[in-house]
Amino acid sequence: MGIEAKLKALLQEIDEEIDPESITGDSRLMADIGMSSVALLYMAVAVEETFGVDLSSYEMKEETTVNDIIGLIQEHSSTEDGIA
C-alpha cells in the first residue's frame, strides 16, 4: 500500500464520513474534506505513528492539501534513508 492509500485510510479512520474515493491529491483537508481542527490533531498523531513524521512543527492551514502531507512524508522518508 502506497503513501496516498495509507493516508486516505487514516483519514477515513479519523472520520468515517469521509469517502476515500473522493479524495485527490489536491483535496484541501479542511475546505474540501471537511476536517475539523480536532480531526487534524488526530491525523497528525496518526501520521506520526504510521509514517514516523512529526507534524507538530508543521502549521496546518485551511488550504493544506493531501499532496502537502504526502510531500512531508516523502521528504521525511528521503531524509531517513540518507537520500536528501
> Percent of the chain having pLDDT more than 70?
93
Domain 3-80 class, CATH top level: mainly alpha
- For residue 27 the three cell numbers come to 483535496
For the full predicted model, state whether its pTM sits above 0.85.
no
pLDDT digits (tens, 9 = 90+) for 12-47: 999 888 888 899 999 999 999 999 889 988 998 999
44, 4 contact by CB (below 8 A): no
What is the SS3 assignment for 28? Answer: strand
Domain ranges for the chain: 3-80
